[in-house]
Structures are given as C-alpha cells and as structure tokens.
Amino acid sequence: MSNKTLNLDDRLYDYFLSTSLREPEILRQLREETAEHEMAVMQIAPEQGQFMALLVQLMGATKTLEIGVFTGYSSLCVALALPPNGQIVACDISQEYTTLARRYWEAAGVADKIDLRIAPALETLDQLLANGQAESFDFAFIDADKGNYDGYYERSLQLIRPGGLIAIDNVLWSGRVADPNIQNGSTKALRALNEKLHEDERITLSMVPIADGLTLALKGK
Ligand code: SAM
Ligand code: CA
C-alpha cells in the first residue's frame, strides 16, 4: 500500500490499461493512425481522454473549448461525451494536422459538433470574447504551444462560466519543470503557470499526475 502517487512501471501500466480503458473503436483507429505520425507524442494518452470524457459528462457540459487539436484525439474524446446538442470550438494553426482530425470527426458522426478555427488561438479566443461569449463555456482544454499557456489560461478563465472547468495539459512536462538546470522557454512558462495557479484564488485547484500531468482549475462561483 502507498499513500503517495505511484510510479507506474510497464507491468502496472499495462494492468491499469487492461482493467480500465474503454476506448471506442474509432478512437483506437485514430490513435493507431496518429502513432505513425512523426509528432505522435503530442497526442494525449487514451486514459487521459477517458478521464476528460468522464469530466465532461460529470459536469453536464454542452459547450467546450479546445486549444490545440493536432490529429483530433482529445477533441473526439470530448465530442463523443457531449450530448447531441454539444459544441466544441477547436483552435489550431495547422491545416495539415487537422485534416486527419476532420476525417475522424466525420467517421464518428460528430463533425457537426466541432467548429474548427484555423488561426493563432489567442486571436480566436479574443474574437470569442469580443463577440460576447464570456462566461458561456462549460469546459476548456489547453494543449497548444506552452509559451502562450498563460494567455490561454487567462482568456479561458473569462470564457468559462462560474463553476466551469479548465484542464491544462503537460504541467509535469516529463519532469523537466522540477529540474532547475532546465531553463528553456516552454519549461519556464509551465513552471511559472504552475506557481501562479498554486496561489490563484479565482479557482479551486487540483494537479492530477495522469499522463504528463493535467491541472484542473474550477472557476469560482
Ligand atoms: N490535444 C491534441 C491531442 O490530444 O491530440 C494535441 C495537441 S498538440 C500537443 C499541440 C497543437 O497546438 C498542434 O496541433 C499545433 O499545431 C497547435 N498549435 C501550436 N501553436 C498554436 C497556436 N499559436 N495557436 C493554435 N494552435 C497552435
Ligand atoms: Ca499535450
């Protein structure tokens, strides 16, 4: 028994997946196709997708935001968990990556739930705010370029309703955030945001050590 978060070795990780992962066939196919991509490590882990789907269901979310789509795995997890009238505003700058995403959204029958905006995400978020959409989203997932995370967090916090949830990915950054010898831009940005959120009284906080670390920030009412 341990009251400290476990380090999962390969055997325990396999057990964890084999006794808990319920990945729909369409997501498995997308994950296998993405695995052949040179940037495959950018995709979230399947257990994280299942966890985010549970959060979306738990909240009864209907309107969500995704910042960083890549080949669409996380957005498809969320889209499948949303009710028929659910909606995702999905932000990315890459036509190339998101072409694969669109193909799978179509195949899964959820393409009409996903409004893909190809533009720098800060611009898309500013447009949503300018169009009067503040406090209208239930859930936001932040998973694009790490240097802009603080900007994505501040805008997402305005865009979600009181009681809405922001999930921020890669907050443990393969352990680099805890290594003072690593001082590159992405690591410093993640470290600074982690420290800021620790003290941020606008939110209820939990840093969940799933996959590469997922911070949950619940907006105060
Ligand atoms: N959530 C995705 C998944 O589970 O498969 C992974 C997202 S990947 C880590 C990051 C994505 O952010 C890439 O697809 C990249 O094109 C996109 N991106 C990078 N800079 C961006 C920016 N300034 N605005 C919007 N998207 C950006
Ligand atoms: Ca990520």
Whether residue 40 lies inside any domain: the answer is yes
The per-residue pLDDT for range 111-163, each reduced to its tens digit, is 999 999 999 999 999 999 999 999 999 999 999 999 999 999 999 999 999 99
- Record the tokens describing residue 65, joined without a space: 């935001």
For residue 1, how far is its CA from the centre of ligand 2 (angstroms)?
30
Question: What is the number of domains present in the chain?
Answer: 1
Q: Take residue 12 and report the two structure tokens written for it.
A: 């325990």
Atom of ligand 1 nearest to the CA of 148: 23
Domain hosting residue 128, numbered range: 10-219
CATH of the domain at 172: 3.40.50.150
Give the pLDDT confidence of 6-54 residue by residue, as tens digits: 999 999 999 999 999 999 999 999 999 999 999 999 999 999 999 999 9
Half-sphere exposure at residue 73, Cβ-oriented, CA atoms within 13 angstroms:
24
Ligand nearest to the CA of 172: 2
Give the per-residue pLDDT at 115.
98
CA of 214 to the centre of ligand 2 (A): 9
Asked if residue 1 belongs to a domain, the reply is no
Instruction: Kindly state the average pLDDT of the residues 189-204.
Output: 98
Indicate the burial class of 211 (C-beta count within 10 angstroms; 0-12, 13-18, 19 or more): middle
Q: 99-114 pLDDT, tens per residue? A: 999 999 999 999 999 9
**DSSP secondary structure code for residue 35 in this structure:** T
Helix (H, G, I), strand (E, B) or coil at 206: strand
Backbone angles phi, psi at 173, to 5 degrees: 45, 50
